[in-house]
Structure 1
Amino acid sequence: MDLLTEIVDRALPAARTPRLAAPGLATVLAVAAVAALWWPAWRVLRLVVTLVHELGHAVVGVAVGRRLRGFVLRADMSGHAVTVGRPTGPGVIATTWAGYPAPAVIGALLVWVAAKGWTAPVLTALLAGLVVALLFVRSALTGVVVLAALAGTGALWWWRDDVLQQHVLVGVGVVLLVGAWRHLATVLGRADATSDVGVLARLTWLPAAVWQASLVLALGLATWLVVAEVLAVLGGG
């Protein structure tokens, strides 16, 4: 079997979708909750949430026609992605808004596709995305985080175990969702002009509270999707 065949085999969805059983799901949820809420674990994992946040800015920026120059993560949970284009208009507004919802949206999608048996194609896409992201890393810490994410994703993809992939993606999805709420909580009710919400208020002249409400709504919808999927499994649906 040649390398191309090996790669294709690892990118195809499972021939038979593994059933996400209630006991396994409960264990995954418990581990994910500890990982997202226990400070020693969160201190490390928050960098992954920040990575997804910044890649959200980057991907949407490129999608609306802006040029990505690079992105940086910092140990204090902050970061920035630099895109170049028009300083005003819907493109820069969409790019700025995309950061906070990105971890929640990606987290919800991971849970959903895992339950449907599409973990292998999703892991393949994530690997490709992380390889591209490496080209735009602009600090040592950022490089370490991206390489660690690449190593973990690559190992899970190469030594394929459909059940393990399913449970890991559900766990990661829940961590990203909880992490998105933790990140958003740091800006709710604040008027920091340098935050994404502050920048959106300056770009549009809409009050920061309106943009905060839109972010809460986006995270709420992602949470609803995850809760609905979890309840369907726990209820035997």
Structure 2
Amino acid sequence: MNSAEIAERGSTILERLTTTQTPPPWELVVGTGVAALLLVVFRPTWRILRNAVTVAHEGGHAFVALLSGRRLNSIRLHSDTSGLTVSSGKPYGVGMVLTMAAGYPAPALLGLGYAALLGAHRITLMLWLTIALLVALLVKVRNAYGLLSVFVIGGVMFAVSWFGTDDAQAVLAYLAAWFLLLAAVRPVIELQRNRRNEPNSDADQLARLTRIPGIVWVLGFGVVAVCALVVGARLLLADVEGVCVPPLTHSTCAPAAP
């Protein structure tokens, strides 16, 4: 690809960032949802793709740490899909609680944000916002595996958004949205199941900070994940022909035209 082609491609992407794209066919929307579900429930794929959930989880800690006025020091991502975000500030108080509580809801809320963008037919914007977030995260990653994980995810996003067809971009965008919405539930279940062996889990640290039992925090994480999945699914399926997805009001779907 020569400089003229690069400039032309860049100009096209810039234009697409400010415009909407054609909604994909219903087969793609539903098919990517089914594929994402299989990726989450099938143990071998989950072991690999859970790294993407960890990136979102640690990104949530980092983002809220900065918002709450704490100093973000480092992010580490490990091959066992665990992670660690280190920030400086008071070891107690609202900022510390919000930072600690942000991890588990982050994948669900990111997936919900993706669903909102895709529901508005902003496929290109969703892909490039993801790349921008990964670049911002990359600045604070401090270990080799973490760098590799972020580079791989960002590289896939960039390659498909730059070289891929409209259909390829739609597949990746919808698959990512469905995956985060569905995958956000499983770590919460794993959190509760493993709490006996992990006394320093996010929920238990929050319990020590707030005197609110850890199980309450786990249930709160679960409620956020399930609500995000329900609302996100409605947004993603809103344009699917033949599927009744009533809005979040007391109204119902209108009958389809003959």
Match of 2:90 in 1: 86
Task: Name the SS for the 2:147 alignment partner.
Answer: helix
Q: Displacement of 1:230 after TM fit? A: 4.3
Cα contact 1:114–1:167 (8 A) shared by 2: no
Contact 2:19 2:122 in 1 (8 A): no
- TM superposition shift of 1:183: 0.8
Cα distance 1:203–1:165, how it changes in 2: closer, same or farther (>3 A)? Answer: same
Seen in structure 2, the aligned counterparts of structure 1 residues 156 and 2 have a Cα distance that, compared at 3 Å, is closer
Aligned pair 1:203/2:209, yes or no?
yes
Query: Matches of 2:133 and 2:19 in 1, distance apart?
Result: 25
What count of residue pairs does the alignment treat as equivalent?
237
Change in CA separation of 1:15 and 1:184 when aligned onto 2, cut-off 3 Å: same
* Runs of 5+ consecutive residues of structure 2 not aligned to the other structure: 246-258
Pairs within 5 Å for 1:45-64: 45-64=49-68
Which of residues 131, 135, 152 is equivalent to 2:135?
A: 131
**Greater Cα shift, 197-206 or 120-129:** 120-129
In structure 1, list runs of 5 or more residues that go unmatched: none
Structure 2 counterpart of 1:222, from 217, 228, 239: 228
**Normalized against structure 2, the TM-score is what?**
0.83
Kindly tell me: are residues 202 and 18 of structure 1, through their superposed partners in 2, closer, same or farther at Cα, counting changes over 3 Å? same
* Identical-residue share of aligned pairs (%): 28
Aligned pairs for 1:124-163 (under 5 A) are 124-159=128-163, 161-163=165-167
TM-score, with length taken from structure 1: 0.90
CA deviation vs aligned residue, 1:161-208 (integer Å, no higher than 9, x gap): 444323311111121222211111112263543000001111111111
Give, in whole Å, the separation in 2 of the partners of 1:82 and 1:5: 42
Deviation at 1:151, TM superposition (A): 0.5
Q: CA RMSD in A?
A: 2.2
Deviation at 1:17, TM superposition (A): 3.1
Specify the alignment match of 2:13 in structure 1.
10
Compared CA separation, residues 212 and 156, structure 1 to 2 (3 A)? same
The structure with more radius of gyration: 2
